[in-house]
Structures are given as C-alpha cells and as structure tokens.
Amino acid sequence: MDGDNRVVDDRTPGVEEYEPTASYLSYTAGLGLAILTTIVSFVVSQTNLLWPPGIPVGLVVLAFAQIGVHLVFFLHLGSGPDHTNNIVALAFGVLIVFLVIAGSIWIIANLNANMIDMIH
C-alpha cells in the first residue's frame, strides 16, 4: 500500500517530540567523573606527583578532560543526527577561542621580549 509507506516520517513541523536522551544515571556518572578530575587537579597543583615543570600542562589537560565530561554528560552533546549542527558550531567556537587566546599570548610575549627595558 502506498499509504503505509508515507506515514513513516510524517512528522508535523515544530511538533514536540521527546526522546529520552538523559537519565539520572548519566548525570550521576558525569558528576562522579567531574569530581574526580577536579580533585586530581587540586592535588596535582599542590604536590609533586607530577614533574613540577609539567604541572601547568597537566592541569590544562585535566581541564580539557573535565570540559569533555561536562559536554557529554551534562550538555548531552553526542554523535547523533540531532547534534550534527551543534558539533559543527562548537568546532567553530573552539577555533575562535583558540585563535583569541593563543594569538594574544603569542603577540604579547613577542612585544614583551622586544620592549626596551625602561622601568626595571
């Protein structure tokens, strides 16, 4: 029957559809992982568990790990079709954030190095 085939994706535009994306369990798992990375960050910064010159790098890696946990478990960013646009937008946002932060640090460090020492 022709009619049978057509009802398959006959969604009315704008009609609400609830797909259970999250559960109490996924939030709790996210909280556990976030607490774990937070505690490790604080411990690493206050002790010599890591090779001391490597501590800032370790802290940045832990921060990225925790941000990943937040994105997946709290903001529910996934690889499903409903998230394609969100992921592309996020990638663009990350690019801009990286350009602003890394670019500023790079340029100012150069300016600083080439500055004639007047006060000190």
Partner 1 sequence: MTLTAATDFVAAESARGRGGGGPAPTRIVVAYGFWIFLLSDFVLFSGLFAAYAVLRHETAGGPTGAELFNLRNVFIETMCLLLSSYTCGLGALSAERRRPERFFVFAALTFVLGAAFLAIEAREFAGMVGKGAGPGRSAFLSSFFTLVGTHGVHVTGGLVFLAYMVAQVLVKGLRPPVLRRLLCFSLFWHALDIIWVGVFTLVYLIGDFH
Residues engaged in binding partner 1 (CB under 8 A): 4-5, 8-9, 11, 13-18, 20, 22-24, 27-28, 30-31, 34-35, 38, 41-42, 45-46, 55-56, 59-60, 62-63, 66-67, 70-71, 74-75, 80-86, 89-90, 92-93, 96-97, 100-101, 103-105, 108
**Cα dihedral sign for 53, 57, 63, 69?**
negative
- Distance in angstroms (rounded) separating the CA atoms of residues 95 and 101: 10
**Closest residue by Cα to residue 34 from 86, 75, 81:** 75
Q: Min. distance of Cβ 12 from partner 1 in angstroms?
A: 9
DSSP one-letter code for 12: P
Which tokens go with 21?
A: 């994306």
Give me the least distance between CB of 117 and partner 1, in Å please. Answer: 14
Residue among 16 and 117 whose Cβ is closer to partner 1: 16
